[in-house]
Structure 1
């Protein structure tokens, strides 16, 4: 991303010098020097400076092609299956991919993927009911299933109200600038980097639970350990997908629970590991209402 070959080689030499004490070296086959205006792909992102002078990071074209291909394969493989099978298969993929790309310029890509997913589900419905009219199909499978949004074209299940989430529903959260010259290699800043990573993790929870997690800084009321997630966030769309699956299962299985704690102002709800509450109850030290 330098403007001259000499400057680029100088930067490369400086980086090599920084990597050497850490036992790391450049992979010459994978390392190349490019102009910022040309841009480059890295870990599914495209980094490029545009004519307006802004350096923007977006999902790479290759990453978009991969997610479109996966969505297409998943939906086509479920032709003839029940609506809930589509929701179970596709929702984790959408949540995981959008969580990974939520910190970059993804709004247009999210919208285009929602449009593509709508086409896939519509064709799935046509294949499932070849003798039904298009009006019947749209009335049966599409509607305002998510009452919190003014969207009448959400794919869902009429009987239980379950629906397919959309990429665009994931809030874009801009990357937080690192404070000062803080380095991840500085052992004195371990807590700073851990707290920074935890704040960036989007949790698939209701608002009340989110507020409690924020109040408790994500930690159990009893043991003080993290309730749901690790210090290191997932590093890929697939990683986010698996993390979200595990987290939702933990909530559904009630591995975390509400605890009513008595205070001078009444009873306040707090979150704790269900195992911690069981141990506290068994020891006779319970303080729940």
Structure 2
């Protein structure tokens, strides 16, 4: 529950009221996970970071929701685990496993301020896949790998047998549905 305007004492009283309501349902507030904070400090909720910041170029303050650092590190860890050299037999198999992870993560976070995060994740995944290609083909130089797997596609997306790497940077973001 979020109290946007009020004192700390009012927030603590609301905490007690919420605890009473949840007790009737057989639930309880976790003391370790629940805290009272200012909106300027921000907090993480369901993978999103919610924080009030000054809007760029203005003097107005706005509440932003964007992917939390923990959520981003989680998906980056999954990409890192998939792009280990010994785990995948072919680029097609790698892309078949990687694309649903990237697509699902981006679909979940597309309703926040996520465009820059998507660009960062896309760059990270692209670099991991191209590094994986270079390790898989040690006797082939970069120019030949580029021509075979990357050239001639929008954004130089890796492709094999009709499977193209998902482009997270081009996903449309719809903020505050």
**Shorter-normalised TM range:** 0.7 to 0.9
Find 1:31's aligned residue among 31, 34, 50. Answer: 34
- The 1:129–1:80 alpha-carbon spacing in structure 2 relative to 1, beyond 3 Å, is farther
The alignment partner of 1:54 has SS state of strand
The alignment partner of 2:89 has SS state of coil
**Aligned-partner Cα distance in 1 for 2:68–2:85:** 26
Deviation at 1:17, TM superposition (A): 4.3
**Aligned-partner Cα distance in 2 for 1:21–1:170:** 43
**Aligned-partner Cα distance in 1 for 2:155–2:11:** 52
**Structure 2 gaps, min length 5:** 56-60
Aligned to 1:82: 90
Q: Larger relative contact order (C-alpha < 8 A, sep ≥ 6)? A: 2
Does the CA contact (< 8 Å) of 1:91 and 1:164 recur in 2?
yes
**Aligned-partner Cα distance in 1 for 2:34–2:88:** 47
Find 1:44's aligned residue among 34, 43, 47. Answer: 47
Aligned to 1:66: 74
Structure 1 residue 120 and structure 2 residue 136: aligned? no
Aligned to 1:12: 15
Deviation at 1:10, TM superposition (A): 2.8
Does the CA contact (< 8 Å) of 1:80 and 1:128 recur in 2?
no
Q: Deviations over 1:76-125 (max 9, x none)?
A: 15566211111111011111111111111111100001100111011111
**Aligned-partner Cα distance in 2 for 1:19–1:57:** 26
Aligned to 2:169: 168
Matches for 1:156-235 after TM superposition, within 5 Å: 156-157=159-160, 160-176=161-177
- The 1:129–1:31 alpha-carbon spacing in structure 2 relative to 1, beyond 3 Å, is same
**Aligned-partner Cα distance in 2 for 1:172–1:49:** 20
Total equivalences in the alignment = 169
- Which structure has the bigger radius of gyration? 1
Aligned to 2:107: 99
Q: Which runs of structure 1 show a deviation greater than 6 angstroms over 4 or more consecutive aligned residues?
A: none
The alignment yields a C-alpha RMSD, in angstroms, of 2.0
Deviation at 1:168, TM superposition (A): 2.4
Does the CA contact (< 8 Å) of 2:96 and 2:163 recur in 1?
no
**Aligned-partner Cα distance in 2 for 1:15–1:78:** 51
TM-score by length of 1: 0.54
TM-score by length of 2: 0.85
Q: Deviations over 1:121-157 (max 9, x none)?
A: 1111111121222111111111344xxxxx2311111
